[in-house]
Structure 1
Amino acid sequence: MYGKLAGMTGTADTEAYEFQSIYGLETVVVPTNRAMIRKDENDKVYRTAKEKWDAVIADIRACTERGQPVLVGTTSIEVNEFLSSELSKAGLAHQVLNAKQHESEAAIVAQAGQPGVITIATNMAGRGTDIVLGGNIERQIDAVRSDESLDPEAREQKIAGMRAQWVKTHEQVIAAGGLHIIGTERHESRRIDNQLRGRAGRQGDPGSSRFYLSLEDPLMKIFAGDRLNTIMVRLKMPEGEAIEHGMVTRSLESAQRKVEQRNFDIRKQLLEFDDVANDQRKVIYEQRNELLRSDDITETVTAMRHGVLHDTFRIYVPADSVEEQWDTSGLELALAAEYQLKVPVVQWLAAEPNLDDEVMLKRILDAADQVYAEKIALVDPAAWHQFERNVMLQSLDSHWREHLAALDHLRQGIHLRGYAQKNPKQEYKRESFELFETLLDTVRKDVTKLLMSVQIRTEAQLEAAERPPELENVEYHHSSYEEALEGGEGATGSDGQQPKVNALPKVGRNDPCPCGSGKKFKHCHGRLS
């Protein structure tokens, strides 16, 4: 879709292999403008989640006591709210960033660098914004400048005092060690961990970071939980004691690489399947753009019509076959039923027993061209060309949507081919290509059938069809014309007979029948009356 691809991000280095293998892009690491002095400490691993949270709160408390701002990263809103409740129980004031407070989020981030401030953030909030050590006073300065109650001199004095106070606060935070980052759990991707760490130590500022983990974390359960638990049991580590070693940190990073590789394989496989549909999409859109750009598609329609009629002809008259294998009567019926093309194929063969199949095919194509030309002669050529283009576009769009749905259905179950010792990707490519060929054949056949079957009427024919029939020389006949004219009270039935008189006495339906049979009247002579 795009001729050139490029981008810039601070955490692309961990995804360099994916950029290279999928997009063919090299990843270049640009050195920072100022030296990075942030201290990234080794992870601390505890046996239980309770021990981990106790250590996190203890670290937060120690930072606030020495006036160091803290940013705590959590993996979800649930963990965010849980930690917030634990800090409230511990009596530690804090701010929460979890994408639920859109209005106050910017203000919270602006003041997250003040001494002793605690900020809890999820992965979805607080990213991409510099946390200024000492706090961001630009908003406060803007508020003072917009205060019309102060004269210009008083306004400038107040701003100068605010800047002087900020310098003191800034130096105080730097002396305390800068912004401290606490990660409460390792993510599946190292890139997200680096994003969290990247909040501190920006533009040469001091800072530090540490991740607190437990064997009950999801990532630890999958990759390293049992092994580390065995080590802790053998070492008889007391409750609250953590493993802190570079080997553990490297082991966790190795586990993250495995997860990243698995996710990469999933994305790559999805891309390989999408590439199949994308190649077909290019063909369809190229044809569609040609239709939109062309004012006259007569050549395309003619080639399409000849191809469809040729395929139909070869169904009943196979190539390199003898005359006894030809089904000429079936060919006549098929051409007349599907394409409204009436050609005397049987008569041709009866009149010319040695008629060649290629000559027969040419006669059919010439007859179809003549019928088509007669239709075009009845209408304006420009209007007909527009009609042809609309028919092709509508057929192409409709069948392309159905084709995409068929590809999705094929992809959902194609992995089952692996149980039959077949490569699902190759099977998908093969069957999707067959579906694509069917799509193109169906479009050609539908367009040809519709254009050959359309009936064109002139204005005179339409007016004649809408005009009511004229009634001329109509004679009216009646079986009893005189009686119908006379009417009156003495008129009898149409056959001249008198009305029938019922001689039976009036009897109720449930009364005994007068004939003496013993049955009810409705079951005896009542059924006859």
Structure 2
Amino acid sequence: PGSSQFYVSLEDNLMRLFGSDRVAKMMDKMGLEEGEVIQHSMMTKSIERAQKKVEENNFGVRKRLLEYDDVMNAQREVVYKRRRHALQGERLKVDIANMVYDTCEVIADTNKAANDYKNFEFELIKYFSITSPISEADFSKMGVLEIANQIYSSTYKHYQEKMERNAATAFPVIKKVYEDNSNKFERIVVPFTDGIKTLNVVTNLQEAYESGGKQLVNDFEKNITLAIIDDAWKTHLRKMDELKQSVQLAVHEQKDPLLIYKFEAFELFKGMIDKVNREVVSFLYKGELPSGNPNEIQEARNVRRPKENLQTSKEEIPNSDELAAQNRAAGQTQGQRPQVTETIVRERPKIGRNERVTIKNVMSGESKTVKYKQAEPLIDKGDWVLTED
């Protein structure tokens, strides 16, 4: 039905980077004029080789980016799994229990290794708002797992009692709002505070009333967990972007940037999970209704946020070669002055090492003819000078 014909210039980037220089030289020798169409199997093969090199290079770049993305994808699955549990609410109680145990284990491990009972007591008050159930003598005798299991039993029991108190405290307020005929609220916003920051919890008014305030406690756990995970994940993503850019410099130390990226990313993710556990546990144990005033309960409405001038796309992080090219280009344009090319002109033609030259002794006036490689050390000493024939 038809055919297509494509033309490629020898000055095209494809040919300039990967094509053979001898092709252009050969065309010049043949006397071909500029713009004349060249049809030859040698040119076709040269273009095919160039395209093959480009595709191989692009495949290597894509494969490398996929290896970097695999690290992020593994972390993303863990975080999204936690968010999904919090949204659905089915395994949220299990996740909170795991967070409490992990925090207990970290506190027991760090303080047992340092043999610091005072800091052990301080961290229990800081995160769980309880006094230590273990005496100093028992702390020095018991192992890390024994300490972690004992404080977990005490802290989780304290947490369950606290959630029941929160439901009992919030129910009279919810009852007043629900029984007030002037309020036609379906979903309400209840403020909770840990004494430092305040977070609003959205819950269904009818379900909170019918469950005696227990639905509010469940939504309290869900909202707090989601808010803290989302905030920590956004911060972690920024750190991962900075890490991906900084590890590219490892090539100058003869190290694999991907390997360093995996190690550092694991440490960052481990620190983020530990921080999330501590913050969620701390707020859940300290969170209280600021007051029992029903007037502070507001209807939950969908607030339309004003559009901000946000950048929706992010530039790809360049590799080491691209960074070097950018730095060279920046250095060349920084001065904003035209580059002056200095031409060096020889006073006399260049002499070959095996050419015979005439030298003359400055003291005795003696002259002799020798090869230049033999005369060069004598001339450097200053006793002989080169004379023109």
Q: What TM-score, normalized by structure 1, do the two folds share?
A: 0.42
* Alignment equivalent of 1:303, drawn from 84, 98, 110: 98
Change (3 A) 1:364 1:458: farther
Q: Secondary structure at the match of 1:455?
A: coil
Provide the residue aligned with 2:299 in structure 1.
none
Change (3 A) 1:415 1:311: same
Provide the residue aligned with 2:57 in structure 1.
262
Provide the residue aligned with 1:230 in structure 2.
25
> Aligned partners of 2:160 and 2:118: how far apart in 1?
26
1:241 CA displacement = 5.2
* Alignment equivalent of 1:316, drawn from 105, 108, 111: 111
Q: Secondary structure at the match of 1:415?
A: helix
1:412 CA displacement = 1.1
Provide the residue aligned with 1:329 in structure 2.
118
Change (3 A) 1:251 1:335: same
1:341 and 2:136 equivalent? Answer: no
> Aligned partners of 2:16 and 2:148: how far apart in 1?
73
Provide the residue aligned with 1:452 in structure 2.
285
* 1:268-279 correspondence runs (5 A): 268-279=63-74
Unmatched 5+ stretches in structure 2: 168-212, 295-389
* 1:6-405 correspondence runs (5 A): 205=1, 207-224=2-19, 226-237=21-32, 242-295=37-90, 297-318=92-113, 326-343=115-132, 345=134, 348-349=135-136, 356-357=142-143, 361-378=148-165, 379=167, 380-405=213-238
Q: Which amino acid aligns with 1:440?
A: I
Q: Secondary structure at the match of 2:4?
A: strand
- 2:117, 2:139 within 8 Å by CA — same for their partners in 1? no
> Aligned partners of 2:282 and 2:59: how far apart in 1?
48
Change (3 A) 1:295 1:456: farther
> Aligned partners of 2:140 and 2:72: how far apart in 1?
48
Change (3 A) 1:252 1:458: closer
Q: Which amino acid aligns with 2:226?
A: L
Provide the residue aligned with 2:269 in structure 1.
436
1:373 CA displacement = 2.5
Root-mean-square deviation (Å): 2.8
Provide the residue aligned with 2:358 in structure 1.
none
Provide the residue aligned with 1:476 in structure 2.
none
Provide the residue aligned with 1:62 in structure 2.
none
1:430 CA displacement = 1.9
Q: Secondary structure at the match of 1:259?
A: helix
Instruction: Name the larger-Rg structure.
Output: 1
Provide the residue aligned with 1:486 in structure 2.
none
Aligned residues: 247
Change (3 A) 1:366 1:457: farther
* 1:367-516 correspondence runs (5 A): 367-378=154-165, 379=167, 380-455=213-288, 459=292
> Aligned partners of 1:458 and 1:218: how far apart in 2?
70
1:312 CA displacement = 0.9
> Aligned partners of 2:224 and 2:258: how far apart in 1?
35
**Deviation readout 1:162-183 (Å, 9 max, x if unpaired):** xxxxxxxxxxxxxxxxxxxxxx
**Deviation readout 1:249-293 (Å, 9 max, x if unpaired):** 121121112112222222221122112211221222222222222
Unmatched 5+ stretches in structure 1: 1-204, 319-324, 464-529
1:456 CA displacement = 5.1
Moved over 6 A (4+): none
1:243 CA displacement = 3.3
